[in-house]
Structure 1
Amino acid sequence: MAVSTSALGIVVLIYMMLIFYLGWLGYKKTQMTEDYMIAGRKMNPYILAISYGATFISTSAIVGFGGAAGALGMGLLWLAFMTIFVGVFLAFVVFGKRTRRIGLKLGAVTFPELLGRRFQSRFIQGFAGALIGLFMPLYAGIVLIGGARFVETTLSINYDVAVLILTIIVAAYVITGGIIAVMYTDALQGALMFLGMALLLAFTYAKLGGVVEAHQALTNMAHLVPESLQAGGHLGWTAMPEFGSSIWWNLVSTLILGVGIGVLAQPQLAVRFMTVSNDRALNRAVLVGGPFILMMTGVAFTVGALSNVYFFEKLGVISVAAAGGNTDLIIPHYINSAMPDLFVVLFMLTLLAAAMSTLSAQFHTMGTAIGHDFYREFLKKGELGQTINITRLAIAVTILISVVLAYTLPISIIATATAIFFGLCAASFLPMYVGALFWKRMTREGAIASMLVGAFGSLFWLLFVHAKEAVPFGLSQAIFGKATLLSGTWTIIDPIIVATPLAFLTAVVVSLLTKPVPQEHLERCFSKKTGKNPNRKSF
């Protein structure tokens, strides 16, 4: 890079000073347990919208899914549609309002606690907390990978060092300042992300001769699809894969549906609905969140696919080849090769912001899931104590696990690992979450059964049927002497397609066969009257 190290250092230093100032501000405003957990239920709607979007759109979306678009093409734009319609409109307008109201009436400060109190079950809260604590480090690990890979290629810093730098910075303000610090820093990071992605799109089209010219050039490259991808159903970067092919199933079931539906049951996103004071704030947030998500996902997937045009014109190879076969390096390599030096600095900050905003939410969610939901409410049966200190310790432990995963996970893993976690959340939590908000007849037994069937069904399919994970894990081979228990198309169908409907069916059947929830509890949950907040405790 032509940009001097000193100039780069000054820009990063200013950014870090702002981050730490906002983190300190969040720390000063954190007086009660509820402040640490859900920002005292009085967060500004616009900060909510940007925080939600910045948490949702991490380096896994920009680097991982942008790289996947470089390999698979613009069919991934269907995921952009899903993230806006499902992840913003349905999430805020349909799910968000009821989540906020019921959470307030029940005094819930975490997503597992909302579910546990709705169904009057400490087991639900504890199991959900344990599930988040065990599997969210996988998601956090790949977000760390995305940020560290760009820092590595941009600054020529050792990858292991880049992971540690990112982790230490984020941990400092999350552990001390709670969700207020997280959401304040998210707002700044989201603004940087929006600016960076807008400029990336403009520079890309300028570099490739214009919008029409760039897309036509990409269409004309269909004959350059490698034979291995053609055999899997790849028909070009501006066309959907062949219907029913292995690449079509991977694109549609794993990437588009896995993330596009799984977003509704993401604990770190759902808890944000409980941080505002009224429904009107959620309506306002939609007007900001929709355009933000469109800019983030639409640009990443478009530029990822168009990078093929740039690399073919400059190097005579497609993006995957230019990145040495690692799709996680397509976007970093494209930015560093094609963009002006000054923009590379700005985009490094954009990716740092994307990584830090999502990591901070993940670390906070993992810590509260273990410290509050599993330890205090499940193990200690709600006993008052040093909840925040236990939560902070849990954050530190899950951060350590995430760092270890960032060091050990294989290449080209970002998009796949994201879809795995989103799909697991959808199967485990979505049927119970839908029932908690919209179906009064759903019982505690139905909720527990759906959660267990969804979680273990998803993991079973992942480890014993879905070839992409079952083959490298080798459990099926070791136990049954077969790489996968099933064969043919079944081995490329994502767990979310099987486990989530099965969990919904289980919820309905078991609920209809068991005793209804007491009427007085349902009236407490669904009454339109706003009760007093029962959970305003000092820590």
Structure 2
Amino acid sequence: MAVSTSLLILFVIVYFACTFYVARLGYKKNSQTDGYMLAGRRVHPAIMALSYGAAFISTSAIIGFGGVAASLGMGLMWLVFMNIFFGIFIAFVVFGPGTRRMGLNLGAITYPEFIGKRFQSRFIQAFSGLLVAVFMPLYAASVIIGAGRFLESTLGINYNFALLIFTVIIAFYVIKGGLLSVMYVDAMQATLMLIGMTLLLIYTYSKLGGVVEAHQALTNMANLVPQALVDQGHRGWTAMPAFNSPIWWTMISTIIMGVGIGVLAQPQLAVRFMTVKDDRSLRRAVAVGGPFLLMMAGVAYVVGALSNVYFYRTTGMISLQVVPDGNTDLIMPAFLNHAMPEMFVALFMLSLLSAAMSTAAAQFHTMGTAIGYDFYQQGLMKGQSTATTVRVTQFGIAFTILVSVILAYLLPVSIIARATAMFMGLCTAAFLPLYIGALFWKRTTKAGATASLVAGSISSLFWLVFIHAKEAVPLGICQAIFGKATLLAGTWSLVDPILVATPLSFLALIVVSLMTPQFSPEFLKKTYRRRFEDEEEDASENASHKATDSAGV
């Protein structure tokens, strides 16, 4: 379907005018380094929740995982549950308050600084910043690939040109405006995404005859699964894969576990807990973040799977057979352009641009601060110089944008979902154990946290390069060194690194912490203390509940 050029130009002009206006509002409220990197610590809970959700749900979810759902089926709905339970409820209610208070007590303004100051280690901060700066471009590249593929298929423009235009626009407001600009734009873009996904769900069911008929038709298509997928455990688009099969391991360990739990250890998301003023703001944000993630991820996976019904009815082929080379990254763009009305395609293009821009902006800001603040100022300069921190951070953002774009040109097809899962799995192994130790186990020591960080990072990367077939085989490093595709065969080559590296990281944290001296009681008291405003807030909230109960009686 060709989208009207005049209609498209009008939509894009209005969209970018709104984007730059909202970004400017955030820029004007920045206050030096703290405002640029942490948004002033007084962001409204709805803004925080929408920014968090928009930064989390991107084209990698809508385009990448939507395409995976078209290939593997509705089993990905378990990922939606994991996203909401861990990514919103556990994150906001359990992890968020401790992160906010401790970050304020320690004066931390980035995630690497948060864990570095908690464990009084410049090495932890610098190493964490370097880990983010080196490996997050892989995740960022997957996001901008999704945007580029949709622009390519929708507008018929060159893929490389689409990538360039997209990244230049993001670079402008991220480099200039800082985190508050990013969060303001995120909230605006999240609203567009919500509208777009709601309409997509309605249009899809109307095209396929209703909810019940659409899902029954998909169930009845189980006999159309290609034999190659059947041999790997595929049992139909509305059934889980066969237990212990290759597809089962991919779905459970890499996708559902890797992305579902990995969200807790994402630096660009955790830092948002430190942008609100109190714990009540975090609890209030759950009511916004939960429904938002349900609509974003849930609709993408449902529509992705149901695209098989549409394509089979209209072309006699399933989704994988419609796109070139079975590229799952092209399934959702193909479905949108074939099945949806012209006006909707133009509107949804803006929704997808919003999804990609919000996540990429969060990633670029996080990578830039990791380079400029955590690695440069706190690592190389030993915290002694702050005059050039923002300038180096801006340079870091520009550099990581360039690296991400280069990767977007080089990465293979069907890479969006896998690249996302790889980065989230690495973050889980490297950061989650010491993050939990920082918040909930005062006995965690500097040596224990360091051992956990290093062990999780190295073991995760080792498993990716030498054991896990999905990465080890295409990389070819194991083949070049040892003369075989993977060091371990059979089921081991199907197990995602998260299931091996994360337990090793936890083990290193516990064992080394128990063997080394803990922090002084004075430091721990300062780190974990509740401030007056928190106590006042809780007292006020308790009084309000008592008054309500009394009125009810």
TM-score normalised to the size of structure 2? 0.95
4+ long deviations beyond 6 Å = none
User: For 1:134 and 1:290, how far apart are their aligned partners in 2?
Assistant: 31
**2:388 alignment partner AA:** Q
- How much does 1:31 deviate? 2.1
Counterpart residue number, 1:348? 349
Counterpart residue number, 2:237? 237
Q: How many residues align?
A: 532
Aligned with residue 456 of structure 2, among 449, 454, 457: 454
Counterpart residue number, 1:432? 434
Q: Contact (CA 8 Å) 1:105, 1:531: kept in 2 or not?
A: no
Counterpart residue number, 2:9? 9
Q: What runs of 5+ residues in structure 2 fail to find an aligned partner?
A: 535-553
Counterpart residue number, 1:357? 358
User: For 2:62 and 2:258, how far apart are their aligned partners in 1?
Assistant: 17
CA offsets 1:124-157 (integer angstroms, 9 cap, x no match): 0000000000000000001000001001100111
CA offsets 1:261-319 (integer angstroms, 9 cap, x no match): 10000000000000000001001100000000000010000000000000000001110
Pairwise mapping of residues 51-66 of structure 1 onto structure 2 (< 5 A)? Answer: 51-66=51-66
Counterpart residue number, 2:523? 521
Counterpart residue number, 2:423? 421
User: For 1:348 and 1:531, how far apart are their aligned partners in 2?
Assistant: 44
Counterpart residue number, 1:338? 339
Counterpart residue number, 1:537? none
SS at structure 2 position matched to 1:314: helix
TM-score normalised to the size of structure 1? 0.98
Counterpart residue number, 1:490? 492
Matched, 1:300 2:326: no
User: For 2:69 and 2:195, how far apart are their aligned partners in 1?
Assistant: 21
User: For 1:166 and 1:522, how far apart are their aligned partners in 2?
Assistant: 46
C-alpha RMSD of matched pairs (Å): 0.9
User: For 1:410 and 1:464, how far apart are their aligned partners in 2?
Assistant: 19
- How much does 1:2 deviate? 5.0
Matched, 1:201 2:201: yes
Q: Contact (CA 8 Å) 1:70, 1:306: kept in 2 or not?
A: yes
Counterpart residue number, 2:505? 503
Counterpart residue number, 1:225? 225
Counterpart residue number, 1:289? 289
Q: Contact (CA 8 Å) 1:105, 1:530: kept in 2 or not?
A: no
**1:113 alignment partner AA:** E
Q: Contact (CA 8 Å) 1:26, 1:177: kept in 2 or not?
A: yes
- How much does 1:530 deviate? 4.8
- How much does 1:323 deviate? 1.4
SS at structure 1 position matched to 2:190: helix
User: Cα distance 1:74–1:90, how it changes in 2: closer, same or farther (>3 A)?
Assistant: same
**2:13 alignment partner AA:** L
**1:102 alignment partner AA:** M
User: For 1:48 and 1:74, how far apart are their aligned partners in 2?
Assistant: 30
Q: Contact (CA 8 Å) 2:235, 2:241: kept in 1 or not?
A: yes
- How much does 1:529 deviate? 2.6
Q: Contact (CA 8 Å) 1:320, 1:330: kept in 2 or not?
A: yes
- How much does 1:531 deviate? 9.0
User: For 1:314 and 1:265, how far apart are their aligned partners in 2?
Assistant: 43
SS at structure 2 position matched to 1:453: helix
SS at structure 2 position matched to 1:75: helix
User: For 1:42 and 1:264, how far apart are their aligned partners in 2?
Assistant: 22
Counterpart residue number, 2:392? 390
**1:457 alignment partner AA:** S
- How much does 1:3 deviate? 4.0
User: For 1:303 and 1:192, how far apart are their aligned partners in 2?
Assistant: 18
Q: Percent identity?
A: 64
User: For 2:74 and 2:121, how far apart are their aligned partners in 1?
Assistant: 44
Counterpart residue number, 1:536? none
CA offsets 1:389-434 (integer angstroms, 9 cap, x no match): 0000000000000000011100000000000000000000000000
User: For 1:443 and 1:225, how far apart are their aligned partners in 2?
Assistant: 52
- How much does 1:461 deviate? 0.2
Pairwise mapping of residues 150-189 of structure 1 onto structure 2 (< 5 A)? Answer: 150-189=150-189
**1:186 alignment partner AA:** D
Q: Contact (CA 8 Å) 2:62, 2:296: kept in 1 or not?
A: yes
Q: What runs of 5+ residues in structure 1 fail to find an aligned partner?
A: 533-539
User: For 2:21 and 2:203, how far apart are their aligned partners in 1?
Assistant: 32
**1:83 alignment partner AA:** N
CA offsets 1:434-459 (integer angstroms, 9 cap, x no match): 00000000000000000000000000
- How much does 1:378 deviate? 0.7
